[in-house]
Chain A
Amino acid sequence: MEIQIRGLKKYYYSEGKTIKALDDVNLTIPANKIFTLLGPSGCGKTTLLRSIVGLETPDEGEITIGDTIVWSSEKNIYVPTEKRGLGMVFQTYAIWPHMNVFNNVAYPLQNQGMPKAEIEERVRETLRFVQLEGFEKRPATRLSGGQQQRVALARALVAKPKVILFDEPLSNLDAKLREETRKELRSFLTELEITAVYVTHDRVEALSLSDSIGVMRSGKIVEIGAPKKIYFNAEHQFVADFIGRSNLLPAVVQKQVGAYTIVETSLGKFECKERDYPLGSSLTLCIRPEFIDIETQEGAKQKNTLTGVMETMVFVGDVYESEIRVGDVLFMAKVDPETTIEVGDSVTFSVKPEHCLLVSE
Chain B
Amino acid sequence: MRKRQSRLTYLLIVILALLTLSPVVMLVVGSFSKGLNAFGNFTISKYVSVYSDPAFYAVLGNTLVFVGFSALFSTILALFLAYLNNRTNIPGKFMFKVISVVPMMIPHVLFAVSWALLLNPSNGILNLLLMNIFKLENAPFNIYTIRGMIMVEGLLDLPIAYLIIAPAMASFDISLEESSRVFGAGNMKTLFRVTLPVLRPAILAAFILCVVRCLASFAVPSVLGMPGRTYVLATYIYRTVTTGFIADYGKAAAVGMSILVLSISLIYVYRYMTRSSEKYVTVSSRGFKPVVIELKKAKVPLFIILLIFSFILIMLPILVLLYTSFVPYSMVPSAKAFASMNLSHWKNVLNDPISLLSLKNSLFLCIVGASLGTLLSIFISYVIVKVKTRASGVLESLSFLSFSFPGIVIGIGFMWFFVRTPLYSTIWALLIGYIATYLPYGIRPMTSAFIQIHSHLEESSTVCGASFLTTIRRIVAPLLVPGIVSGWILMATMFFRELSLSVVLSRPGTETMAVQILKFSNDGLWGRLSALGIIMIGISILLVVTANLVGNHFKPVTD
- Quick check: is A155 within 8 A (CB to CB) of the other chain? yes
Q: Does B558 touch A at the CB level, under 8 Å? A: yes
Do the beta carbons of A92 and B454 come within 8 Å of each other? yes
A contact residues, range:
35 or more
Specify which of A87, A92, A142 is in contact with B463 (CB 8 Å cutoff).
A87
B424-462 interface mask toward A, CB cutoff 8 Å, 1 = contact, 0 = none?
000000000000000000000000000000101101111
Q: Would you mind naming 6 contact pairs between A and B with Cβ atoms under 8 Å apart?
A: A90-B460, A97-B556, A98-B556, A99-B557, A112-B465, A141-B557
Asked whether B475 lies within 8 Å of A53 as measured between CB atoms, the reply is: no
Beta-carbon nearest neighbor of B464 in chain A = A108
Which residues in A have their C-beta under 8 angstroms from that of B478? 98
Contact (Cβ within 8 A) B460 A111: no
The reply to whether B465 and A96 form a contact with Cβ atoms under 8 Å apart is no
Contacts of A343 in B (CB 8 A): none
CB-nearest residue of chain A to B470: A111
Is there a chain A Cβ closer than 8 Å to B466's Cβ? yes
Give bound CA distance, A55 to B557, whole Å. 29
Interface string of A191-233 (1 = CB under 8 A from B): 0000000000000000000000000000000000000000000
Please state if B462 and A55 are interface contacts (CB–CB under 8 Å): yes
Chain B residue at minimal CB-CB distance from A111: B465
Q: Which of A82, A91, A92, A156 is the one whose CB lies under 8 Å from B466? A: A82
B-side contacts of A97, CB under 8 Å: 479, 556, 558
Residue in A closest to B465 when the chains form the complex, CB atoms: A111
Which chain B residue lies CB-closest to A155?
B464
Determine how close the nearest CB of chain A comes to the CB of B450; give it in whole angstroms. 15
Provide the bound-state CA to CA distance between A99 and B454, in Å: 15
Residues of B close to A141: CB separation below 8 A: 557-559
Instruction: State whether A90 touches B459 (Cβ < 8 A).
Output: yes
Q: Shortest beta-carbon distance, B559 to chain A, in Å? A: 6
In Å, the complex CA distance between A152 and B1 comes to 25
Bound CA span A25–B474, Å = 36
Which of chain B's residues 391-423 have a Cβ closer than 8 Å to chain A? none
A91 x B456 contact (CB < 8 A): yes
A107-B470 Cα distance, complex, nearest whole Å: 11
State the CA gap A81–B468 with chains docked (Å): 10
Chain B CB count within 10 A is highest, among A96, A112, A142, for: A96
Q: Is the CB of B461 within 8 A of A107?
A: yes
Nearest Cβ on chain A to B556's Cβ, whole angstroms: 3
- Do A111 and B558 have beta carbons less than 8 Å apart? no
A100 near B557: Cβ-Cβ < 8 Å: yes
For residue A111, which residues in chain B have a CB less than 8 angstroms away from its CB? 464-467, 470
Query: Other than the known A53-B463, A57-B2, A94-B457, what 4 A-B pairs have Cβ atoms closer than 8 Å?
Result: A81-B463, A87-B463, A90-B459, A96-B479
Q: How far is the CA of A86 from the CA of B463 in the complex (A)?
A: 6
A139 to B555, alpha carbons, bound, how many Å?
13
**CA–CA, A97 to B474, complex, Å?**
12
User: Does the CB pair B460–A82 fall under 8 Å?
Assistant: no
Residues from chain B with a CB closer than 8 A to the CB of A55 are 459, 462-463
Chain A residue nearest in CB terms to B554: A98
What are the residues of chain A within 8 A of B556 when measuring CB–CB? 97-99
Judge whether B465 and A85 touch: CB under 8 Å. Answer: yes
Which chain A residues lie closer than 8 Å to B467 at the CB level?
Answer: 82, 111
**List of A residues within 8 angstroms of B559 by Cβ:** 139, 141-142
Residues on B with C-beta less than 8 A from A84 are 463
Instruction: Report yes or no: B2 in contact with A96, Cβ–Cβ below 8 A.
Output: no
A88 within 8 A of B: yes
Interchain CB contact under 8 A, A92 and B456 = yes
CB-based contact B456/A82 at 8 Å = no
Closest chain-A Cβ to B468's Cβ sits at a distance in Å of 8
Task: Map CB proximity to B onto A25-67 as digits: 1 under 8 Å, 0 otherwise.
Answer: 0000000000000000000000000000111010000000000
Over the window 321-346 of chain A, the binary record of Cβ atoms lying under 8 Å from chain B Cβ atoms (1 yes, 0 no) is 00000000000000000000000000
Cα–Cα, bound, A139→B559 (Å): 6
Whether, in the assembled complex, A287 has its beta carbon less than 8 Å from a beta carbon of chain B, the answer is: no
Judge if A263 is at the interface, Cβ distance under 8 Å.
Answer: no
Query: How near does chain A come to B472, taking the closest CB pair, in angstroms?
Result: 13
B456 touches A81 (CB 8 A): no
- B557 and A82 contact, CB distance less than 8 A: no
For B456, give its contact among A90, A100, A155, A159 (CB under 8 Å).
A90
Q: Given the complex of chains A and B, what is the CA–CA distance between A308 and B440 in angstroms?
A: 72
Contact (Cβ within 8 A) A94 B462: no
Identify which of residues 289-326 in chain B touch chain A, using a CB-to-CB cut-off of 8 Å. Answer: none
Contact B456 A94 (CB under 8 A): yes
* Cβ contact within 8 Å between B557 and A94: no
Beta-carbon contacts under 8 Å, B347-371 to A = none
